[in-house]
Amino acid sequence: MIAMEGHREQPAPDRRRLVTVFGGTGFLGRRVVRHLLARGFAVRAASRHPERTRALIPTDRPDLQAVAADVQDETTIAATLAGAYGVVNAVSLYVEGGRDTFAAVHIEGAARIARHAGLAGVQRLVHISGIGADARSPASYIRARGSGERVVVEAFGTATLVRPAVMFGNDDAFLTNLIKLIRVLPVFPLFGSGRTKLQPVYVDDVAEAIACVLDDPAGAADGCYELGGPRVYTYRELLQSLAEALGARHRPVPLPFAVWQAVALIAERLPGAPLTRHQIELLRHDTIASGVWPGLRELSITPTPVEAIVPDVVDRLSET
Provide the mean pLDDT of the chain. Answer: 89
Q: How many domains does the chain have?
A: 1
Residue at 189 is within a domain: no
Residue 210 reports pLDDT greater than 80: yes
Q: Which of 112, 110, 31 is nearest to 79 (CA)?
A: 112
DSSP E strand boundaries for 220-297? 223-227, 233-234, 251-255
Residue at 177 is within a domain: no
CA quadruple 129, 134, 138, 141: dihedral, nearest 10? 0
d(CA 272, CA 220): 35
Residue 168 reports pLDDT greater than 80: yes
Give the tens place of pLDDT for each residue, 47-101. Answer: 998 888 877 887 778 899 999 999 999 999 999 999 999 999 999 998 888 899 9
d(CA 113, CA 123): 13
Residue at 279 is within a domain: no
pLDDT-based confidence at residue 218 (cuts at 50, 70, 90): low
Percentage with pLDDT > 70 across the chain: 92
CATH of the domain at 296: 3.40.50.720
Residue at 106 is within a domain: yes
Residue at 299 is within a domain: yes
pLDDT-based confidence at residue 8 (cuts at 50, 70, 90): very low
Residue at 44 is within a domain: yes
- Helices (H) then strands (E): counts for the chain: 12, 14
Residue 35 reports pLDDT greater than 90: yes
Q: pTM score, two decimals? A: 0.90
Q: Which pLDDT score, from 0 to 100, does residue 50 have?
A: 87
d(CA 168, CA 162): 16
Residue at 243 is within a domain: no
Give the tens place of pLDDT for each residue, 290-301. Answer: 999 999 999 999
Tell me how far the alpha carbon of residue 269 is from its chain's centroid.
22
pLDDT-based confidence at residue 219 (cuts at 50, 70, 90): low
Instruction: Residue 141: give the domain boundaries.
Output: 3-168+200-228+290-303
- Three-state SS for 265? helix
Q: How many residues does the chain have?
A: 320
Q: Which pLDDT score, from 0 to 100, does residue 149 have?
A: 98
Residue at 233 is within a domain: no
Please give the helix or strand (H or E) that residue 310 lies within, else none. helix 306-319
